Copies of this chain bind each other. A is one copy, B any other.
Amino acid sequence: MKIDNYRNVEPQKLMDGKILKRVLIGPRDNAPTFVMRVFPLEPGANTPYHTHPWEHEVFVLEGKLKVKAKNREYEVEKESFVFVEPNEEHQFVNIGDIPASFICVIPNSGGE
């Protein structure tokens, strides 16, 4: 069993530090199937608009985000969840005034 507060996990800085990535549970813990990560995005920060063969299962912890899909945009906030299917185009943008954090779970095939 591995237990901790997520803020104790050393973050990786992405996009010049505007996005922090914490891998809470993953292959290094011998998690056999999927990886749990948390991403806080600074206001205005965005993940790349991209696609990949693996899915995302996302749960928003705080803040307000725009989710961009191929032909639509959605607004999500605390308590929203998002299923991004394999090969579906997607992007997350913090459109609020405070950091926006979300859990993003991916299969081990997506790396960490």
**With contact pairs A7-B79, A59-B24 given, residues A1 and B84 touching in the complex (Cβ less than 8 Å):** yes
* A11 vs B1: C-alpha distance when bound (angstroms): 28
Min CB gap A71→B, angstroms: 10
Q: Tell me the residues in window 52-75 of chain A with beta carbons closer than 8 Å to chain B beta carbons.
A: 54-55, 57, 59, 61, 67, 69, 72, 74
**Does the CB pair B79–A6 fall under 8 Å?**
yes
**With contact pairs A34-B57, A57-B36, A59-B36 given, residues A1 and B82 touching in the complex (Cβ less than 8 Å):** yes
Mark A residues whose CB is within 8 Å of B. Answer: 1-7, 24-25, 29-34, 36, 38, 54-55, 57, 59, 61, 67, 69, 72, 74, 76, 79-86, 88, 90, 103, 105, 107
